[in-house]
Structure 1
Amino acid sequence: MLKKRIILLFLLSSLMSFAQHQIKGTIEPFSKDIKWAMLYQIKEGKQHYIKNTKIDNKSFYFEIPQTSSSGMYRVVYRLKGEGFIDFLYNKEVVSFTFNPDYPEETVRYSKSKENQIYKAYLQSALNGQQYLDSIQITYFKDPSPVAAVLYQEAYYELKDIQKQYQKESKNMLAFHFIQATQRYNSKTIISSPQDYLEGIKNNFFQHINFDDSVLVNSSFLVDRAIDYIFNLNYSQDPKTQKNLYKESVKNMLTIPKNTDLQKDLTEIIIEEFVKLEDVEMVKYILENHYKQLPAEQQSNLYIEKTLAKISIVLGELAPDFTWGENKQLSTLQTHKNYIVVFWSTGCSHCKKQLPELYAFLKDYKDVQVINVALEENNKEWTKLIPNFEGWENVLGLGKWKNTIAKSYNVEFTPTYIVLNANKRIIVLPDNYKELKDAVSRLK
């Protein structure tokens, strides 16, 4: 009998260890360009890959062990643009339907109490907030006592919504997000639009606990930081705008006491300014915030890569380099325009496009090519460079680790960069066709 019990317990534990929870999504309307879905877990604001699956008949599903940690997860279905949806997982089946072009606004959960209550809260809170804001805006135009009374009523209705959903979500994962999502509102109506905006800015993080591990291991803090910096600070004057950015970044990064979180948020904010090609702000944050982190949190490689990204920006001087017998990019004065090409003898696209480019440029006498080959050795390069007589042919040994390639942040070949006579970057074509179009417009 004892032996049978041991065997039974072993079988039960084995079955438990293989128990799975399903995460299922349905895309409506379906788009033929969507073929794969990738599942990630969000940790400290960054996505960590778990698995992928093919989309079949506009649906996809993942099975994950019931022992998988609770938190925020993400399904990515497009690699560019709005191509992901975040959801909560807390030891339950998650099933949802969404429009791929408007995932956040259209998602509907058929299974998952966590996501159903959080989604319902977001909609109720949004409706209540919009009504409150509409009264406030009306009051700016017509400060009547009636509007002030209506504002008070709407204010307490919104408070009741908050209390209701916090009570319903108690002991749930969603509670952490519901508590932190509530927005600051003045108890009484405000006369000045400026005071109204200042009140929101000064109290933006009032309900957010930066020590809450659930929030830290999600995209929530990142989203709020980006909202605060980029959506609450605007001026038509460029100088004022920069000062607003600097002030908001400083305010944001002084809140977290956890240095790991400070580092993560700093890097994420830097990446946002890299996307905007805001060279001044990237350098400012690196110097005044990133380099002020504890030494163990800093990385010279990260700084090097970040500076390389912003060196290749329209209007900036192209990174300088030398080759051959003391030839230097910055001192070339032979042509009106230059094209820096990064290619490789092992790249099939390069071997097709470069001869075409060579023939095309014969009609453009004021354009010179600096042709940088990223190679492990010179064997194939020596055979091919006679085909490009008249170009400046540069051998970049070390391939992707080559210093020239790193300074230009080259991630693929061929890469084309068009410069003017002063070696400022004037065009960053994505492909050969765009390069030809750009050259055709050169004067």
Structure 2
Amino acid sequence: MKKVLVLIFLISSFAQAQFSINGTLTNDIKTDWAILYRIEGAKQKFVTNTTIKKDTIAIEGKKQTIGTFQFDLPADAKIGSYRITYRTEAPGFVDFIFNKENVSFTFHPDYPEQTTLFSNSDENIIYKNYLSEVSVAQQKLDSLQITALRNPEVDLKTNYKTTLATINAIQQKYLESSNGMYVQPFIKATSRSNPSEIKTNAKEYMQNINATFFDNMDFSSKTLINSSFLIDRISDYIFYINYSEDLEQQQILYKNAVNKVFTKVKEVVFRKNVIELLINQFEQSKNLEMVDYLFDNYYNKLPKSLQNEKYKNEKLSLLASEVGRIAPDFSWKENGKNYKLSTLNDAKNYVLIFWSTSCSHCLREIPQLHKFLANKNELKAVAFSLENDEFGWNNMKTTLPNWHHVLGLNKWENKIARTYNINSTPTYFVLDSDKKIIAKPQDLEKLKAYLNNLEM
């Protein structure tokens, strides 16, 4: 009977076993919480959150506030890559590997990537040591390479080969010591394909980097997919390795880089996540050409079950009124005649104005703009007035002759205003004869300056 009770106790204890994640922030921090996520593909999934306990300690006679936190993970917690965040305004996170062991680390909250030190966790300690050791050797190799590019006459071949051998030895050492560990795919993938001989031609050097950038990365590895590793390398390759100051050439480089990335990314859900990530990144820089390119060549070719029409429509609608787009079309009736923005042909360029008779700025600026445009025959204004009723608009429009006047009822909820993402009045757009948006001046003075230059 005692043996049975002991067995039950051991089983119960094992079932309730848990792992702890302990962090120490080595400097004062303005937040009181920390959030734990598990990284899956290009996304992070919430696991739990906790508070940061603060304490004041004396270091070399000086008082310093530190913060500590702890997460408890159950015995069946998933092995993988995790992320702890501790602020919302500025970037602030620590990534680590969890493989059924306790994890403890310290870091400075303002410089987490450079300062994180693990005191508990074989997986994280070996990876951190590897990164520290190999980066020193790689920096020396890069320094030799840069010197050779700047001064081709300097003979650095022997130094280069010696340093390259050091890097290869470090790589082999850590591959052997990480055998059977979760971290090993990261060590394999981190290794750069350095050329066997030093390069003295910058073009050849960059071609080698471009051609070999992904050579050691296994894009089928679930370990790498479910981490930030591949996502970070993809972003580096597209936005840093492939760079040109010439805007037209930059677009070509972006497309070529994207195409190469998707020859590597085959796993279909991860592929979808990468596409969406890149769409979001290009959206932030308002690169409409690349957003369209990603939708046309990649997102729209995903299996229908993975495509999200709501996501697609939202993304495209957010950019519908950006420079480079054809202005979203709308129609109206004026003096008993039907008009449509897309078919207007009474000017070389158009100023589309979203305004309101209840807007004090509009009542001051619109008459000034009317006077400014009075003698500019190649410019025509389309004044779209956002109103709750037509009373004030009927009176005001008579003071603005020779303009096209459109009444937009329901004010901020007006369908056309929402299509143009209007959230303030007045808002100005300049259109060419094809109704393509060529400028979005922020205020009246910038609008006048743009229109004056347009006529030159």
SS at match of 1:172: coil
Structure 1 residue 181: deviation in Å?
A: 0.6
> For 1:256 and 1:16, how far apart are their aligned partners in 2?
40
Cα distance change on mapping 1:241 and 1:15 into 2, 3 Å: same
**1:236 equivalent in alignment to 2:245:** yes
Task: Please list the CA deviations of residues 309-335 of structure 1 after superposition, one character each: whole Å capped at 9, or x if unmatched.
Answer: 32254565654456899897877x9x9
CA contact (8 A) 1:323 1:394 kept: no
Cα distance change on mapping 1:298 and 1:388 into 2, 3 Å: same
Structure 1 residue 247: deviation in Å?
A: 0.8
| Aligned match of 1:41 | 38
The within-5 A match list for 1:141-160 is 141-143=150-152, 146-160=155-169
Cα distance change on mapping 1:98 and 1:371 into 2, 3 Å: farther
Query: Which of the residues 17, 20, 35 maps onto 1:19?
Result: 17
CA contact (8 A) 2:33 2:49 kept: yes
CA contact (8 A) 2:429 2:441 kept: no
CA contact (8 A) 1:128 1:157 kept: yes
Query: Which of the residues 35, 49, 64 maps onto 1:52?
Result: 49
Under a length normalisation based on structure 1, what TM-score does the superposition of the two structures give? 0.78
CA contact (8 A) 1:45 1:220 kept: no
SS at match of 1:170: coil
The within-5 A match list for 1:78-157 is 78-143=87-152, 146-157=155-166
Query: Which of the residues 169, 176, 180 maps onto 1:171?
Result: 180
| Aligned match of 1:350 | none
Structure 1 residue 134: deviation in Å?
A: 1.1
Cα distance change on mapping 1:389 and 1:263 into 2, 3 Å: same
**1:394 equivalent in alignment to 2:395:** no
> For 2:53 and 2:341, how far apart are their aligned partners in 1?
52
> For 2:418 and 2:7, how far apart are their aligned partners in 1?
58
The within-5 A match list for 1:276-355 is 276-313=285-322, 316=325, 319-321=328-330, 338-339=353-354
Cα distance change on mapping 1:39 and 1:396 into 2, 3 Å: farther
| Aligned match of 1:363 | 364
Structure 1 residue 164: deviation in Å?
A: 1.1
> For 2:293 and 2:281, how far apart are their aligned partners in 1?
13
Task: Please list the CA deviations of residues 77-97 of structure 1 after superposition, one character each: whole Å capped at 9, or x if unmatched.
Answer: 233442222111111222222
Q: Which has the larger radius of gyration?
A: 2
Cα RMSD, aligned residues only: 3.5
Gaps of 5+ in 2: 55-66, 370-382, 397-406, 449-456
CA contact (8 A) 1:75 1:84 kept: yes
The within-5 A match list for 1:136-285 is 136-143=145-152, 146-285=155-294
> For 2:355 and 2:183, how far apart are their aligned partners in 1?
52
Structure 1 residue 289: deviation in Å?
A: 1.9
> For 1:72 and 1:13, how far apart are their aligned partners in 2?
28
CA contact (8 A) 2:355 2:362 kept: no
> For 2:417 and 2:82, how far apart are their aligned partners in 1?
35
> For 2:390 and 2:38, how far apart are their aligned partners in 1?
50
> For 2:331 and 2:15, how far apart are their aligned partners in 1?
60
SS at match of 2:125: helix
Structure 1 residue 340: deviation in Å?
A: 7.0
Moved more, 23-32 or 359-368: 359-368
Percent identity, aligned pairs only, is 35
Task: Please list the CA deviations of residues 184-240 of structure 1 after superposition, one character each: whole Å capped at 9, or x if unmatched.
Answer: 101111221111111111111111111111011111111111111111111122111
Gaps of 5+ in 1: 342-354, 373-384, 429-437
Cα distance change on mapping 1:369 and 1:359 into 2, 3 Å: farther
Cα distance change on mapping 1:363 and 1:189 into 2, 3 Å: same
SS at match of 1:92: coil
Structure 1 residue 103: deviation in Å?
A: 1.8
> For 2:248 and 2:49, how far apart are their aligned partners in 1?
46
AA partner of residue 43 (structure 1): E
AA partner of residue 364 (structure 2): D
> For 1:415 and 1:96, how far apart are their aligned partners in 2?
48
CA contact (8 A) 2:389 2:409 kept: no
> For 2:355 and 2:137, how far apart are their aligned partners in 1?
56
AA partner of residue 394 (structure 1): L
CA contact (8 A) 1:266 1:289 kept: yes
| Aligned match of 1:381 | none
Cα distance change on mapping 1:421 and 1:211 into 2, 3 Å: closer
> For 1:10 and 1:408, how far apart are their aligned partners in 2?
67
AA partner of residue 293 (structure 1): L
> For 2:116 and 2:321, how far apart are their aligned partners in 1?
38
| Aligned match of 1:431 | none
SS at match of 1:420: strand
Q: How many pairs were matched up?
A: 398
